[in-house]
Amino acid sequence: MPVTTLDPKTALVVIDLQGGIVATPTAPIAAPDVVARTASLAAAFRAHGLPVVLVRVTNLADGSDAVTGRIDGGPRPPRPRPEGWDVIAEDITGPGDIVVTKRNWGAFHGTDLDLQLRRRGVTQVVLTGIATSIGVESTARAAHEHNYHVTLAVDAMTDIDEVTHRNSVEKIFPRLGETGTTAEIIELLAKTHG
């Protein structure tokens, strides 16, 4: 079902479109296409004076700030990241954007994202990014739990696995908010904020 409503105070929240992640093979949508569609959304949000939040993930080189809970896969040793791994893709950045740095899958826990949104009176978020089933889904769940209206730009996100992407889009996202395409969201922005 296409997205029906955008609140007067809606923010675009972009998840992990940064050097090391956009260089990873993705499915079902190529990372450069996700970046291009997100850039279109960001330009439209800026044109309407709405906030654009760019979320990046990073960890200290020694791994001392990594999540330490036990997992079936066993502890993950710290991995050195190449230079520029956590630099946000240049195509999507703009003046006045809010940058949030996270150290977890989701963009709310341990960050000032909620504070940044509430200070601006934001009641709805539109999400894009990589990976659909990890950072995007975790952020969508938390946004829903924080009582934001959630819209998911499903053609401006992708995953490292097509099956997990489709599970998020088809099974999880309809329970958290509304889904739509980049074009539908930009058209709705023009109608409601034009």
The pLDDT profile of the chain, 194 residues, written as one tens digit per residue, is 579 999 999 999 999 999 999 999 999 999 999 999 999 999 999 999 999 999 999 865 555 566 666 667 766 666 667 678 799 999 999 999 999 999 989 999 999 999 999 999 999 999 999 999 999 999 999 999 999 999 999 999 999 999 999 999 999 999 999 999 999 999 999 999 87
Q: According to the model, what pLDDT value does residue 56 have? A: 96
Q: According to the model, what pLDDT value does residue 117 have? A: 98
Distance (Å, whole) CA 141 – CA 150 = 9
Read off the tokens for 50: 């709405």
Burial class of 164 by CB neighbour count within 10 A (0 to 12, 13 to 18, 19+): middle
pTM: 0.93
Residue-range domains of the chain with CATH: 10-27+41-60+83-193 (3.40.50.850)
Q: According to the model, what pLDDT value does residue 143 have? A: 98
Q: According to the model, what pLDDT value does residue 58 have? A: 86
Distance (Å, whole) CA 84 – CA 66 = 19
